[in-house]
């Protein structure tokens, strides 16, 4: 299964040339998501058996040169590349139960899942590089935390289609509102208290920088407009479910 994906990436990369934002296509990732994402769950077995579209997309990402693109186009590219890399990382480890596991059923180590480097935009980069040293450090857009999917059940759901620069703000706002309202990940009562995903704990500084406080960020993006919010709501962070967000 992995050899088929590796061959697809290598073949497409050999034929690829850097493309400007207007020429770069996210269509192959759209194909992957349409075929293998169902109600927020990934069909990893199906994707591993037919990885061609994912391989083509990752090859295009490997040779892309996004630095000259608009800010929105760059953010969309890096989020999409991150999510595609996670899918690839899982299917290279058949039977993996969690991205934090020491090994998959096939014995492939997964401990360095977020640190192993593969070519993206002409340079070997890890998932940690993309999230922390590119998306967070360059762009300071906290809403990206709600479109990045690390393969864990408690992560924000994988977007149903690839992000696009020309509709990025709308996509980020919709994803943020959807995540806040998802009671499997957050339990928010504007009058009594906030039981929040651990994402708000780990990246609290990002949200406070954008809105002055954690509650201020949540109020700003809460989908039910017009609700009155009590000041200084108590906050509790929920345990994070690291089990895989799909099935083999």
Range of weakest confidence among 112-121, 150-159, 163-172: 112-121
Q: How far apart are CA 234 and CA 2, in angstroms?
A: 47
Segment 189-209 shows an average pLDDT of 97
Q: State percent of the chain over pLDDT 90.
A: 83
pLDDT exceeds 80 at position 8: no
pTM reported for the whole predicted model: 0.90
How does pLDDT run across 210-237, given as a tens digit for each residue? 999 999 999 999 998 888 999 999 999 9
Segment 6-13 shows an average pLDDT of 53
pLDDT band at 56 (very low <50, low <70, confident <90, very high): very high
CB contact at 8 A, 188 and 194: yes
Say what the pLDDT of residue 14 is: 46
Say what the pLDDT of residue 3 is: 60
CB contact at 8 A, 93 and 106: yes
Of residues 155, 152, 169, 161, the one with CA closest to residue 199:
155
Segment 44-55 shows an average pLDDT of 97
pLDDT exceeds 90 at position 53: yes
Of 179 and 16, the one with more pLDDT: 179
Of residues 125, 23, 15, 116, the one with CA closest to residue 66:
23
Q: How far apart are CA 204 and CA 127, in angstroms?
A: 20
């Amino acid at each position: 299964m992995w050899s088929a994906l590796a061959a697809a990436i290598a073949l497409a990369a050999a034929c690829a040339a850097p493309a400007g934002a207007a020429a770069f296509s996210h269509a192959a990732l759209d194909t992957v998501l349409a075929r293998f994402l169902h109600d927020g769950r990934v069909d990893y077995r199906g994707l591993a058996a037919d990885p061609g579209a994912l391989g083509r997309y990752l090859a295009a990402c490997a040779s892309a040169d996004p630095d000259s693109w608009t800010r929105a186009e760059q953010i969309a590219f890096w989020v999409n590349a991150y999510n595609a890399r996670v899918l690839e990382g899982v299917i290279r480890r058949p039977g993996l139960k969690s991205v934090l596991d020491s090994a998959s059923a096939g014995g492939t180590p997964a401990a360095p899942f977020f640190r192993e480097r593969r070519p993206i935009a002409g340079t070997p980069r890890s998932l940690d590089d993309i999230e922390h040293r590119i998306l967070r450090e360059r762009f300071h857009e906290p809403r990206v935390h709600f479109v990045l999917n690390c393969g864990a059940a408690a992560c924000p759901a994988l977007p149903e289609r690839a992000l696009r620069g020309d509709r990025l703000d709308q996509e980020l706002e919709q994803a943020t509102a959807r995540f806040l309202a998802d009671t499997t990940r957050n339990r928010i009562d504007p009058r009594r208290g906030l039981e929040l995903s651990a994402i708000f704990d780990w990246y609290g500084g990002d949200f406070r920088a954008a809105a002055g406080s954690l509650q201020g960020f949540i109020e700003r993006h809460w989908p039910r407009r017009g609700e009155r919010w009590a000041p200084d709501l108590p906050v509790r962070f929920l345990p994070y479910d690291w089990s895989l967000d799909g099935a083999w």
